[in-house]
Amino acid sequence: KSSVAKAAAKKLGFLYVDTGALYRAIALYLLEQGIDPADGPAVAAALPGIKIGLEDTPQGQGVFCNGKDVSGRIRTPEVSMATSTVAAIPAVRAFLLGLQRELAQKHDVLMDGRDIGTVVLPQAQLKIFLTASPEERARRRAAQLKRAGQPVDYSQVLADIRQRDQQDSTREIAPLKPADNAILLDNSSLTRDESVAKIVDLVRQQRDAALA
Ligand code: DC
């Protein structure tokens, strides 16, 4: 999902904002500080000490936490699990809401995240709900982990995806669901390039319609 979104943003000349990476950076910080990601009050108390930003690096856009590039370390299965827990804490969502809106105000953005159309940017000019089957997503994630040189167990990756989907779509705060006016795009049987082309097309159509 994020590689498709990133490529579409590049073609359009928009700033790409991977909001999952922002939540991941918070989870990583908490794990490193020995703070339990499920301990709401402790997590809320830690937030003022966290400064997160997106910066260009020679390797492309990087996620920074308190001045350190954490882009590589936020992609482990351990951080993924902790992130899902942390993302259910209202104080964390409020903390990142301001940052996300600020980015959208300052730039033309392609913002990628579960609650962007519903909560963060309800007035977005175009909303796309990009989805694929859990099996296809597990296959893609496993290939991604393999490329990154990390150990891969397909059935574990699939089980993690199902568990996170369940956790993310049933949580009370900002659950994973399409905005009413979102365009549904299931890319299970599309290649990465086809998905990018489809999204770029949708943006151009929307622009043309707005100008007409
Ligand atoms: O997209 P991702 O796998 O990097 O997201 C990591 C976690 O962050 C995922 O469990 C849900 C959470 N998240 C969220 O709650 N809201 C967002 N806008 C983005 C991510």
**86 Cα: distance to centroid of ligand 1 (angstroms):** 10
Q: Which residue has its alpha carbon closest to ligand 1 atom 9?
A: 84
**12 Cα: distance to centroid of ligand 1 (angstroms):** 24
175 pLDDT exceeds 80?
A: no
Ligand 1 atom closest to the Cα of residue 100 is 18
Please report, for residues 9, 52, 64, 66, the alpha-carbon distance to residue 85 in angstroms, rounded to integers and kept in the order given: 29, 19, 21, 21
pLDDT band at 77 (very low <50, low <70, confident <90, very high): confident
Q: Are 205 and 150 in contact (CB under 8 A)?
A: no
Look up the pTM and report it.
Answer: 0.86
Q: What pLDDT is recorded for position 161?
A: 93
**212 Cα: distance to centroid of ligand 1 (angstroms):** 36
**208 Cα: distance to centroid of ligand 1 (angstroms):** 31
For the stretch 154-170, pLDDT in tens is 999 999 999 988 988 88
Strand partners, 16: 110
Q: Which residue has its alpha carbon closest to ligand 1 atom 8?
A: 20
**176 Cα: distance to centroid of ligand 1 (angstroms):** 9
174 pLDDT exceeds 80?
A: no
173 pLDDT exceeds 80?
A: no
83 pLDDT exceeds 90?
A: yes
For the stretch 95-144, pLDDT in tens is 999 999 999 999 999 999 989 999 999 999 999 999 999 999 999 999 98
Q: Which residues of 86-113 are buried (b: 16+ CB within 10 A; e: fewer)?
A: bbbbeebbebbeebbeebbeeeebbbbb
* CA geometry: angle 70, 151, 63, nearest 5 deg: 15
pLDDT band at 70 (very low <50, low <70, confident <90, very high): very high
181 pLDDT exceeds 80?
A: yes
Among positive and negative, which fits the CA dihedral 173, 127, 11, 5? positive
Ligand 1 atom closest to the Cα of residue 80 is 6
Q: What pLDDT is recorded for position 107?
A: 92
Ligand 1 atom closest to the Cα of residue 74 is 4
Q: In this predicted structure, which of 29-43, 48-62, 82-96, 183-197 has the lowest mean pLDDT?
A: 48-62
